[in-house]
Structure formats: structure tokens, C-alpha cells
Amino acid sequence: MDTRAESEFREFVESRSPALRRSAYALTGDPHTAEDLVQGALVKLVRRWHKVDNPEAYVRRTMYHDFAGRWRRRKAVREDSVAVLPDRPVTDAADDVPHRLDLRQALLRLTPRQRAVLVLRYYEDLPEREVAEILGCSVGTVRSQTARSLARVRALAPELAAGTVPPTPEEASA
């Protein structure tokens, strides 16, 4: 890789890594696995840097394909999950933190493909056509998976439905 290409690659990594890590975290639910997913995609990108027209699309497609490959291979790897997560300090002071945690837990209970469809459609705000291209399926499959995934999230976390969220202490006292 020549000096100019290396400089362009470094600039891309510095500017887009935070957004790529957020997307990977939304997919995996684990910051370490998300970092591994981004790093793996960037390694694949650097090997093809001179051939890739749209590096961001290439990295995102690679991340989603690698993620799908991981859950396919995961059957061979046994992991034990715990019922109660360890306490962690909450650094976000937003009022909706409990709701985001409920949503996160619901997303983690979806299949990896369902989670990928929701992350691409609603977190990444991609149109159905692009989601279908990234996941290697039809637009109709994206639509049906989106509907099934949203229904499952609603079933897993009914407290997130409009009007059923309990008021915050500030709202209750007002």
C-alpha cells in the first residue's frame, strides 16, 4: 500500500470507527465482540482498499456477513449465560435508560438474523432494498423478518409499547 492509500485508509478508520462500533454493538450486544467484528471487517478492507469503491458499505456488509457467520458457527461453541448481569455503573443520565435496557434485553433474545434486520432498518436507517442486499435475501424477506422481529420485541418487552410505560418520578409528581 502506497503512502497516499495508507493515509486515506487511516483517515477512514479514524472518522468512521465510532459509528461502526456502535452498529456492531447493536448487533452483538457485547462491546468486546463488537470491537472484534469491526476490526475483522477493517482487516478485510485494508487488503482490498485499492479495489473498493465505497469503503463504508464494504465494511458494513462484511460486518453483517461475519456476524451471521458467527451465529451459524456458534453451535459448536458452548457459552454459559448468567441469569443476572453484574451491576455496572450507568453513565447515561437520560430518563429512558430503563427502557433502553429493556429494549437491549429484548434484542438480545432475538435470533441474530432478526436482530440484524432491526439494526439495519431502524438503527442504521437503511431502506429495505439495501438491507436485502447486505443480508443476501429478498426485499420481501426483509419485510417479513422486520414484522416478525418487531412482534417478538413487543412480546418480549410489552412495557415498551406506547402508553404502557410507567411514568418517571418527575412525571408522577407533576
- Read off the pLDDT of residues 80-100 as tens digits, 9 standing for 90 and up: 666 776 666 555 545 566 677
Most confident residue range from 41-45, 63-67, 88-92, 117-121: 41-45
Distances (CA, A) of 90 to 38, 41, 87, 97, 98: 24, 30, 9, 8, 10
Domain that holds residue 6: 1-76
- Read off the pLDDT of residues 65-83 as tens digits, 9 standing for 90 and up: 888 876 555 555 555 666 7
Q: Nearest 10 degrees: CA dihedral of 113, 27, 125, 46?
A: -110
What is the rounded average pLDDT of the residues 111-130? 89
* pLDDT band, very low/low/confident/very high, at 36 (cuts 50, 70, 90): very high
Domain total of the chain: 2
Q: 3-class SS at 28?
A: helix
Whether residues 66 and 123 share a domain: the answer is no
Whether residues 72 and 100 share a domain: the answer is no
Q: Which of 20, 42, 76 is the last residue of a domain?
A: 76
> In whole angstroms, what is the distance from residue 37 CA to residue 67 CA?
7
In the numeric block, which cell numbers belong to residue 19? 459509528
Give the predicted TM-score (pTM) of the model. 0.55
pLDDT of 170 reads: 46
Within a domain: 88: no
- Contact predicate 142/127, CB 8 Å: no
